[in-house]
């Protein structure tokens, strides 16, 4: 029997997927320029989180649109914040089902297909241990419950397959309509962390009528249940300000993404939902003298093992632009005698 057992184990090893190391950097913030800050997750070859990294484990090369590279590794700093958490989570996925999700992209895929792939990656990353549960709310002109609470991945994956582009992009209905995220979360025990993920590909349509009132109501309801709200926005280059305020005020994050980066980003967020630590790296970005050079790419390398790297894209604020002004603009001096000079 031993040769057969050895053969069986060998076959399992050959058939198992090769995970490899992974570095994911997201949520780039430029507000504190010249220091650029971003969150990250680093995984080892088995898919486990690497949790003992320091600033010395990262290399950062910044590239401007003119192709010039600057090594910013010496400016890198590192920080981790420990959150009270567990290995389980109650998760509500709030997914945009507006008509724009049906748009055919240059890749030949519709945007909704990228979203479905990302959500499947999210489900694959969750610890299905009997306590973790997921519910899905779709929103367009109104909200609908695609999936009630499930503690196994099968029904959740089936519900993801039923996501369908329908009509408008009414942000408010998933928070304050019927069904809504807060009524769903009320069914779950408060001892398990509660996290909601809001995914959209456009600005609210119709617009949010009373923004301040909407923000305050959602924040109050979320804090009452200890719900962290995260958002991912596709297609447009900014998060709606009300959604950004809600995420920030509930301990979550708001991010923008391309369709191509969505799968990795949402998979990473699944890990953050149950993570005990949220880690950031930051670096000092230099001044530039041309407005176009404010658009930058940072290549960030993990200096361990296979040394994987990843790229992030960002635009630095106006304060990163050097302006040279002569004051006064006219220099006045007296007559210079013939055959003599004046040193300035």
CATH at residue 75:
2.60.40
Specify if 304 maps to a domain.
Answer: yes
Specify if 129 maps to a domain.
Answer: yes
Residues 48 and 70 in one domain: yes
Specify if 7 maps to a domain.
Answer: no
Question: Tell me, what CATH number does 207's domain have?
Answer: 3.40.50.410
Residues 123 and 154 in one domain: yes
Residues 37 and 120 in one domain: no
- Global pTM? 0.62
Residues with Cβ within 8 Å of residue 17, at least 6 apart in sequence: none
Residues 119 and 241 in one domain: yes
Q: Give the C-alpha separation, 238 to 38, whole Å.
A: 16
Report pLDDT for 328.
61
Residues 142 and 254 in one domain: yes
> What is the H or E stretch that residue 134 is in?
strand 133-139
Q: Give the C-alpha separation, 341 to 344, whole Å.
A: 10
Residues 185 and 245 in one domain: yes
Report pLDDT for 248.
81
Residues 227 and 192 in one domain: yes
Residues 47 and 148 in one domain: no
- CA dihedral for 230, 232, 236, 238, sign (positive or negative): positive
| pLDDT tens, residue by residue, 256-313 | 887 777 777 776 777 777 665 678 999 999 999 999 999 999 999 999 989 989 888 8
Rg of the chain over CA atoms, in angstroms?
Answer: 25
Specify if 112 maps to a domain.
Answer: yes
Residues 286 and 267 in one domain: no
Compare 133 and 16 and report the one with higher pLDDT: 133
pLDDT at residue 19 above 50?
Answer: no
Using DSSP bridges, classify how beta strands 143-150 and 309-315 pair: parallel, antiparallel or unpaired. Answer: unpaired
Q: Give the C-alpha separation, 301 to 61, whole Å.
A: 9
Report pLDDT for 10.
36
Judged on CB neighbours under 10 Å (0-12, 13-18, 19+), 274 is buried
Host domain of residue 133 = 90-275
Question: Which position has the token pair 């604020």?
Answer: 317
Q: Give the C-alpha separation, 250 to 161, whole Å.
A: 29
Say how many residues make up the chain: 344
87 in Cβ contact with 128 (< 8 Å): no
Residues 249 and 115 in one domain: yes
Write out the two tokens for 18: 């090769």
Residues 148 and 43 in one domain: no
| pLDDT tens, residue by residue, 63-78 | 999 999 999 999 999 9
265 in Cβ contact with 271 (< 8 Å): no
Mean pLDDT computed over 47-70: 92
């Amino acid at each position: 029997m031993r040769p057969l057992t050895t053969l069986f184990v060998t076959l399992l090893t050959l058939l198992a997927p090769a995970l490899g190391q992974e570095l994911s950097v997201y949520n780039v913030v430029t507000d504190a320029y010249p220091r650029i800050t971003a969150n990250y997750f680093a995984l080892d070859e088995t898919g486990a989180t690497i949790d003992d990294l320091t600033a010395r484990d990262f290399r950062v090369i910044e590239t401007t649109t003119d192709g010039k590279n600057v090594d910013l590794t010496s400016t890198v700093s590192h920080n981790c914040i420990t959150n009270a958490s567990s290995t389980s989570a109650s998760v509500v996925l709030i997914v945009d089902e507006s008509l724009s999700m049906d748009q055919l992209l240059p890749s030949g895929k519709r945007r909704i297909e990228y979203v479905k792939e990302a959500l499947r990656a999210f489900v694959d990353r969750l610890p299905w241990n009997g306590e973790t549960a997921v519910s899905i709310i779709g929103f367009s002109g109104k909200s609908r419950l695609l999936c009630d609470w499930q503690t196994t991945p099968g029904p959740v994956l089936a519900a993801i397959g039923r996501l369908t582009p329908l009509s408008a992009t009414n942000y408010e209905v998933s928070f304050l309509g019927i069904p809504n995220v807060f009524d769903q979360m009320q069914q779950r025990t408060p001892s398990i962390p509660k996290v909601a993920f809001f995914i959209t590909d456009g600005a609210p349509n119709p617009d949010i009528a009373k923004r301040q009132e909407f923000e305050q109501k959602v924040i109050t309801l979320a804090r009452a249940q200890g719900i962290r709200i995260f958002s991912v926005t596709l297609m447009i280059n900014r998060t709606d300000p009300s959604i950004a305020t809600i995420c920030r005020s509930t301990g979550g994050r708001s991010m923008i993404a391309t369709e191509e980066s969505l799968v990795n980003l949402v998979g990473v967020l699944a890990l953050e939902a149950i993570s005990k630590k949220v880690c950031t790296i930051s670096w000092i970005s230099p001044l530039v003298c041309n407005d176009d050079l404010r658009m930058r790419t940072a290549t960030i390398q993990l200096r361990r093992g296979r040394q994987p790297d990843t790229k992030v894209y960002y635009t630095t604020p106006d304060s990163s632009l050097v302006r040279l002004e002569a004051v006064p603009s006219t220099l006045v001096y007296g007559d210079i005698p013939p055959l003599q000079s004046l040193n300035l």
